[in-house]
Copies of this chain bind each other. A is one copy, B any other.
Amino acid sequence: MKISELGEFGLIERIASFLPAARSNVVVGIGDDVAVLQVRHGNYLLATCDIQVENVHFLAGKITPYQLGRKIVAINVSDIAAMGGSPDWALVSLALPKHQQVDFVDDLYRGMQEQIDAAGAAIVGGNISEVPKDVVVDFFLLGNVAPQHLIRRNGAKQGDLIMVTGTLGDSRAGLELVRVQHLLVSDNARRQASQRHLTPRPRLLEGQVLGRCGNVHAMADVSDGLLGDLGHICGASGVGAEIWAEDIPVGNACLEVAAASGKDGQEWAMTGGEDYELLFAAAPHAVQEIAAMLLNETGTSSRVIGRVVSAKDGIRVLLADGRDATRNFQRSGWDHFTANARDAQDLLTQNEP
C-alpha cells in the first residue's frame, strides 16, 4: 500500500497505534501539533537534531528502513551522550514522496522505536510532510543532564590526556562494503563493519559515567572523524593537540576491509567518521581510574591516544619515533558542500541516477 492511499492523518494514526503508550512525564504525546512534557526540576534541558537525507546520507537499496530508523536515533542519542546526558523525548519530522510504501514507514518506526526504547526515551510527536523526491528523516531529541555532570566541548586544558572509547574505522569500512560490492573479506569483518556503519550503538552509559566522574574536561562524539571532532574540541577550548598514531584503536574489521581494498586502515580510523565513539580530554591523574570505571560499569574499553598542547602547535599526528605524520591525514572529516568532502559524498554522487 502506498502512503497516498492512507493520507497524512491516516498515517499519523497508524504510527500512533504502534508506539507504546506515553509515560508519566508526557502530558500530551503523538497526535497533537505540540507535545507537552514535564521536565525534571533542576536539570538542564538538552536539545539536538540530526537528519538523514536519501541519496546524501543513505541509499535506499543499501540500508533497510528498519536500520535507518535505528541509525537516526543512535546518532542523536550519541550527541546527548557526549554531553553526559540522558535522552527523554523525540520528535520525528518525516518528508516522503507520495509513492512511498506504507511498509517503509512501519519499518522505519519499528527501528526508531527499538533504539529510542533502549535509550530510555520516547517518541512524543513530529510532523509528516510530502517531498518531491528524496526521503528526509529529521530527528529532534530532547534530554536532560544535571548541571554538575554536563561536559562541554570547551573545557580541554593544556596537559590533559586525550582518550577515546572502543575502536575506530569500522564504520568507514562498512561504507566501503556498501560502495564496493565484491570485496573479499571474512564474514566476521563484513558483519562487524556493516553493523558499525548501519546500526551504530551510541555510547550512552559511557557518556553518563564520564559525566559523573568529574575529571573529564571536554567531550565530543566521533561523527565527523577523529581528527575533525578533535578539531571541534580544540577550537572551542582554545588549545592544540598531538595524537599518537600508534595508539589509535583501529578496529579489526577496518584493518581487514582496508587491506582488501588497498586502502589505509589507520587513515580510515583517523578521518572516516560515523564511529560514534566518545572522544574526551581528561585530567592526567585520572585516566587510569576512568578507563577502569568505563570497563567495569559499561564493559567498554578506552585508551589514551594523545595529549592537549598549546593552541599555537595546532593539531598534529606523531609517530612513536617522534616524526610528524600529520600530512598523511590531511583529509578532513565530513563537511557538506565543500569539494574535499570525504569519500561518502563521492560515493553517493556516483550512485545517483
Contacts and interface: CB of A to CB of B under 8 A. Distances in A.
Nearest to A94: B51
A83 interface: yes
B8 A336 contact: yes
A125 interface: yes
A3 B337 contact: yes
Question: Which of A41, A42, A126, A336 has the most CB atoms of chain B within a 10 A radius of its CB?
Answer: A336
Interface stretch (A131-139, A188-196, A242-250, A251-259): A131-139
A9 B136 contact: no
A50 interface: yes
Contact of A79 (B34, B50, B150): B34
Interface in A211-269: 220-221, 223, 236
B337 A47 contact: no
A130 B150 CA distance: 30
A31 B236 CA distance: 9
28 contacts: A8-B337, A28-B152, A33-B48, A33-B82, A33-B221, A34-B46, A34-B82, A34-B83, A35-B48, A36-B83, A37-B47, A38-B44, A45-B142, A47-B124, A47-B125, A49-B93, A49-B126, A53-B95, A53-B130, A53-B131, A53-B136, A56-B95, A56-B129, A56-B131, A56-B132, A93-B140, A131-B136, A133-B133
Interface of A: 3-4, 6-9, 11, 27-28, 31-39, 41-42, 44-51, 53-57, 79-80, 82-83, 85, 89, 91, 93, 95-96, 98, 124-134, 136, 138, 140, 142, 145, 150, 152-153, 220-221, 223, 236, 334-339, 345, 352
